[in-house]
Structure 1
Amino acid sequence: MDFVNHTPFPAQAFEGIDQYRRPFHVVVLRQTLSFAAGMLEYADVQAPLCEGDVCFGELSGASVRQESDLCHYKPKCDVIVNATAYAPPGKPRTCFPVRLRVAKPDTPAPLPQRPQGLNQFENAAPEIMARWRKAVQHAEQHPVPGALLINKTLIVNGPRQFKKKAGITLGLHGMLRLSTLGMLRFNPWKLTDAKQVLTLPLRYEHAYGGECRIGAGDPAAHHLPHKQRIALAARTAQPAHDNAPVRPAALHSVFEPNPRGTGYVEPLYLRATRTRTIAAPQIEQFGTPLCARQFWQALRGRLKDAAQGKPSAFQPAGFGIRAGSHPIRRALAGTVDQTFINGDDALPTDFDFAFWNAAPPDQQTDFLHGNETLELINLCAADTPGATPDRDGNTTLRLKLPGHECFVLGRQKSGTLFRQALALDTVLLEPEERTLTLVWRGILPKDADAPLRCCEARMHGHEERDLAQREVDFLDRSTGAAESTQSRTAEAPP
């Protein structure tokens, strides 16, 4: 199949395959828009298609900034925001909210019916007509707000720590526990007050998660029980990062939903390292704050809710990409057992294409179509073009997606011509760079009985799209009427 790109945007066609070994054609197109002038417009320089996962900075251990555009299919649209949180109104605070909203386009309000006089030839009384004109003006100025597709709020905190309580306090707790025969257990940890913060990059490094690691040569390794130490064979099997030499570990545990975060710790690590202070996460889910009691419960092995994706204080909070190693997302990749490894299938039979949706579940929505509104609150600097303050000093940035549609024009070898719209399945917003990226994707059948000769990528506005659809509907009705007439003529007696 030949592929021709008639748009000024980078696009590519390639072959995909599903879990049942059925091949299909994939067309992907990427648009880069800029709001440096205060409103969205197509950028003069279009970024190329992303062909591999890109992390923040140059370290492979950093969180993911964007994933490859060359995936085969996404069943929903990802709305991803790589932003920095800014305290309102430009003054440091101990905590403040940040919010992402995505809404459908507003629709015109219904206009009130024109009043009539005593008959159809006369107008109503002047005062009635004046009230009607005022009602019409109000309806024209106040459209019906579009339905909210995404409405997500996070809480940003200043630096804070989990600290072990003083020895005297712990001693009193121990005496009380002994006096109650162990029936009462007191929390030995406290959460310090948050310091003030002005800005914070919203990355998963500042959300709950992390890892505990003690090197085999560290002094703390001598305090580990022999049964708890990683065996020598397992130590040498641990992968290295950035081609660095492998460093054996005596203890290594990871919070799988977010290995890059902070706040996760194991009791064995605390005892071996004599650690009394742990940095607390600075980004939390709205309505589920992490407190010292929950931290203590986590040390006692109560972290199942986070692994199962239930709303909890241990669920990593952010607006960015949820890594493919997350247990919930990883499960969508299907069963990778020895049978699959030894076979020649491209995908496991239980593979779910929802695996390619990289945004958190509450940032996934039905495919967008254009003209939707994106609203960011405290996710950009106050001097960002197009941003406005509200009555509470929060910085609000509203962007309206362009009313355009990308589509492909397919030409089969038989001469049949067809049109298929591409789905807008990825929206990547980066306020610091003043850019918005849209990724469109389409799936075309690969049929040996009706092979494609050529596929052309094109774009038009919604008005052109609607006009073309009306013409197609008219031709269909005309063709149907003609066929019906011919059928009746053929059935009529001579």
Structure 2
Amino acid sequence: MDVENHSPFPHMVIEKATTKGRFFDVVIVAGSFTLAHGQPVLAMDEQMPIQCVDRYVGAPESTPFLEETHLVVGKQRTDVHVLGHARPVDGKPATHWPIGVRVGPLTKTAQVTGLRAWHWTPLRGWHLTKPEPTTAVPLHAGMAYGGAVRRARYRGPATDDIHDAQAFDTYQPNPVGRGYVGDAELDRAQFYLAPQIEDVQKPLRDIRERLAPVCFGPVPRWNPQRARHAGTYDDAWRAEHFPYLPPDFDFAFYQSAQPDLIANGWLKGNEPITLIGCDATGRIDTQLPDIQLLALLTDNNGLTQPVQMRLDTVTIDLDAQCVQLVWRRAVPKEWGLRKVMLAAIPAGPAQRGAEQPIHIHRGHSSPAEVANG
């Protein structure tokens, strides 16, 4: 594949299969930009690479999900991920503070706290301790409501080394969180960690209360939010469709953002960004860059067609003080893609809405009709 990249951003072209053995050439471009209050986001001198693997805090099976690979066939909408730590104003230790994120039409708010736990006393019963002052709270799922509790029959020296799924009562929406205690009898001498990110409108009030996790980073593939779109993998699939995706696979599976950080279509560039309570300045106001990616695609017959790359992932990294944008386009193999020419052009006026999604289906005759990205 011949690629001429006239943008300052790294690119990659990969091959991906979907249902019924249908293959796509997927063109991916990732651009990294500085993040600062009151200043336009500018392309970084040293660009971040395309993310080729999933990234976790530690072991994938037991620690929070931090960043998803960019190597997917496509998305039907723009995902917004917020990574890193929220920090109080001026960096001074605080017990709690509100945070908010706005990217174009998408908004999400929460409250973060310092370390706190459920504690039992004769006078108050189970109650939350006062949050400890802190200078940073991670915004990943490990700080949100959730967790896993070892079942009673698997406690003790004889069974402590058993780590199979049946040994734990797991809160499926977020197994790596904190605060979930299940239905087992509680040890009154023990402190039980409580979530440090919560919905301002629905604060935690009871140790047995079960809440929706509140976090800002990506959702892993095995999470029910995404797994329900994965399709049916049964004997019929194995006999007729293996190793490809099942016929009832829904491409919404590839949306990895929190539900309230998934756009209704694709963002386009120039959308406003507001971050509150996320760094020591207290507030960052800026906007997505005035850039869109254009691709000129040439097939085996020499036919060239311009297509707009889809901006399908926006990642705000608070610790690195940068914004990474991922543009993507999937071209059916039968189109015969031979050459790609990439260029960055002005996005135009700020967009308050977003382009409507196009659903993947069979029978595309040109890359302009390619769905999903």
TM-score when normalising by structure 1: 0.64
- Matches of residues 382-397 of structure 1 in structure 2 within 5 Å? 382=281, 395-397=282-284
Name the structure 2 match of 1:286.
Answer: 200
Corresponding residue SS for 2:319: helix
- Give the deviation of 1:255 after TM superposition: 1.3
Name the structure 2 match of 1:5.
Answer: 5
CA-to-aligned-CA distance 1:110-133 (integer Å, 9 cap, x gap)? xxxxxxxxxxxxxxxxxxxxxxxx
1:339 to 186, 211, 236: 236
* AA at the equivalent of 1:349: P
Equivalents in 2 of 1:40, 1:254: separation in Å?
A: 41
The answer as to whether partners of 1:100 and 1:152 remain within 8 angstroms in 2 is yes
- Give the deviation of 1:46 after TM superposition: 1.5
1:456 aligns with 2:341: yes
Name the structure 2 match of 1:204.
Answer: 141
- Give the deviation of 1:381 after TM superposition: 1.9
1:265 to 154, 178, 181: 181
Corresponding residue SS for 1:41: coil
- Matches of residues 460-471 of structure 1 in structure 2 within 5 Å? 460-462=345-347
Equivalents in 1 of 2:153, 2:113: separation in Å?
A: 35
* AA at the equivalent of 2:75: K
Name the structure 2 match of 1:213.
Answer: 150
- Give the deviation of 1:156 after TM superposition: 1.2
CA-to-aligned-CA distance 1:443-477 (integer Å, 9 cap, x gap)? 22333xx53332222222246xxxxxxxxxxxxxx
The answer as to whether partners of 1:83 and 1:379 remain within 8 angstroms in 2 is no
- Give the deviation of 1:338 after TM superposition: 3.5
The answer as to whether partners of 2:118 and 2:193 remain within 8 angstroms in 1 is yes
Q: Structure 1 pair 150/217, CA: closer, same or farther in 2 (3 Å)?
A: closer
Name the structure 2 match of 1:320.
Answer: 217
Q: Structure 1 pair 253/275, CA: closer, same or farther in 2 (3 Å)?
A: farther
- Give the deviation of 1:375 after TM superposition: 0.8
1:353 aligns with 2:267: no
Equivalents in 1 of 2:289, 2:111: separation in Å?
A: 30
The answer as to whether partners of 1:161 and 1:278 remain within 8 angstroms in 2 is yes
The answer as to whether partners of 1:208 and 1:317 remain within 8 angstroms in 2 is yes
Q: Structure 1 pair 416/218, CA: closer, same or farther in 2 (3 Å)?
A: closer
Equivalents in 1 of 2:261, 2:36: separation in Å?
A: 25
1:404 aligns with 2:291: yes
Corresponding residue SS for 1:205: helix
Name the structure 2 match of 1:34.
Answer: 34
Name the structure 2 match of 1:474.
Answer: none
RMSD: 2.8
1:425 aligns with 2:312: yes
Name the structure 1 match of 2:95.
Answer: 94
TM-score when normalising by structure 2: 0.83
Higher strand fraction (1 or 2): 2
Name the structure 2 match of 1:473.
Answer: none
Name the structure 1 match of 2:275.
Answer: 376
* AA at the equivalent of 1:158: G
The answer as to whether partners of 1:256 and 1:325 remain within 8 angstroms in 2 is no
- Give the deviation of 1:275 after TM superposition: 5.3
- Give the deviation of 1:379 after TM superposition: 0.4
Equivalents in 2 of 1:380, 1:336: separation in Å?
A: 44
1:80 aligns with 2:88: no
Equivalents in 2 of 1:190, 1:453: separation in Å?
A: 64
Name the structure 1 match of 2:329.
Answer: 442
Q: Gaps spanning 5+ residues in structure 2: where?
A: 349-373
* AA at the equivalent of 1:95: H
Name the structure 1 match of 2:353.
Answer: none
Q: Structure 1 pair 208/275, CA: closer, same or farther in 2 (3 Å)?
A: farther
Name the structure 2 match of 1:310.
Answer: none
Name the structure 2 match of 1:191.
Answer: 128
Equivalents in 2 of 1:72, 1:275: separation in Å?
A: 51
- Give the deviation of 1:344 after TM superposition: 2.2
Equivalents in 2 of 1:24, 1:48: separation in Å?
A: 22
Q: Gaps spanning 5+ residues in structure 1: where?
A: 104-148, 171-187, 222-228, 240-248, 304-313, 383-394, 464-494
- Give the deviation of 1:336 after TM superposition: 2.0
Name the structure 2 match of 1:277.
Answer: 191
Aligned length: 344
The answer as to whether partners of 1:40 and 1:401 remain within 8 angstroms in 2 is yes
- Give the deviation of 1:274 after TM superposition: 6.4
Deviates more, 1:2-11 or 1:255-264: 2-11
Equivalents in 2 of 1:199, 1:2: separation in Å?
A: 46
